[in-house]
A and B are shown apart, each in its own frame.
Chain A
Amino acid sequence: NAGVTQTPKFQVLKTGQSMTLQCAQDMNHEYMSWYRQDPGMGLRLIHYSVGAGITDQGEVPNGYNVSRSTTEDFPLRLLSAAPSQTSVYFCASSSYGTSGGSDTQYFGPGTRLTVL
């Protein structure tokens, strides 16, 4: 299993440009999430999905769109990039805990985005 994969690893955008960050998982997980992490900070939830065709907003959704057409893929779209969106973006997937516990999340390697 590749786990959670993200592309690209690095990206530089100019203010106003749009782009899509790709995320895919091969573990057949129901839940997928996007987080951003600013320097020295914890992770903040942008959007999440509980299954194909179902998405919802997290803590910091403004400026981002998501869709979930398949179980495997969960792309994050930046509509009009702004310098405030310079950050590291992590995608994660999870499934109902097999032992009955809370969801255990598996994270991708991240995408470092710089907006000039």
Chain B
Amino acid sequence: LAKTTQPISMDSYEGQEVNITCSHNNIATNDYITWYQQFPSQGPRFIIQGYKTKVTNEVASLFIPADRKSSTLSLPRVSLSDTAVYYCLVGPVLGGFKTIFGAGTRLFVKA
């Protein structure tokens, strides 16, 4: 299973766009990239998933370059409630539930 590397923590201010980059150099051909968000005392929650190029939903955008060795989660105009830990996971179509959660990126949004 592909290992991921992401920054330990990031700070931002309300209203700014936040980009969190994840490195996954040994991503396999059939791997997808998935991001989860975890608030204190809660289980992780799915944010977005993609395979290549760009994916956008009502919460975030995910940018994946052609070589797929990295990906960037973009959160537009963050608010205080976006303060959380963000996990980047890489896993196959089948068995993706066995992917590894790293330590994630702790995002602090300040007023």
Contact = CB atoms under 8 A, between A and B. Distances in A.
B29 interface: no
Interface residues of B, number: 27
B49 to A, nearest CB: 5
Interface string B11-53: 0000000000000000000011010100001111110010100
Contacts of A105: 36, 44, 46, 97
B103 A41 contact: yes
Contact of B42 (A40, A48, A92, A109): A109
A104 B44 contact: no
Contact of B100 (A59, A90, A97): A59
Interface residues on A, range: 20 to 34
Contacts, number: 71
Interface string A18-45: 0000000000000101010000111111
A101 B94 CA distance: 9
Interface of A: 4, 31, 33, 35, 40-45, 48, 58-59, 90, 92, 94, 96-97, 100-110
9 contacts: A33-B98, A42-B103, A58-B98, A100-B93, A101-B93, A102-B34, A102-B93, A104-B34, A105-B97
**Top 9 A-B residue pairs of the complex, sorted by shortest distance between their CB atoms:** A107-B43, A102-B96, A102-B32, A103-B96, A43-B101, A42-B101, A103-B97, A94-B97, A42-B103
